[in-house]
Amino acid sequence: MCEEQKGFTVWFTGLPCSGKSAVADRVAEILRAHHLKVERLDGDVVRQSLCRDLGFSREDRNENIRRVTFVAKLLTRNGVAVLTSFISPYREMREQARREIGDFIEVYVKCPLEVCMQRDVKGMYQKAIRGEIKEFTGISDPYEEPLNPELVLETDRETLEESARRVIEYLKKSGYLGHHIKIQDQA
Residues with active-site annotation = 88
User: Is the separation of the CB atoms in 144 and 90 below 8 Å?
Assistant: yes
Query: How far apart, in whole angstroms, are the C-alpha atoms of residue 160 and residue 173?
Result: 20
Q: What's the rounded Cα separation, in Å, for the pair 116 and 19?
A: 8
Tell me the three state secondary structure of residue 141.
Answer: strand
Give the torsion through C-alpha atoms of 107, 7, 3, 183, to 10 deg.
-10
Q: Facing residues of 41 across strands? A: 84
CA gap 51, 87 in Å, rounded: 15
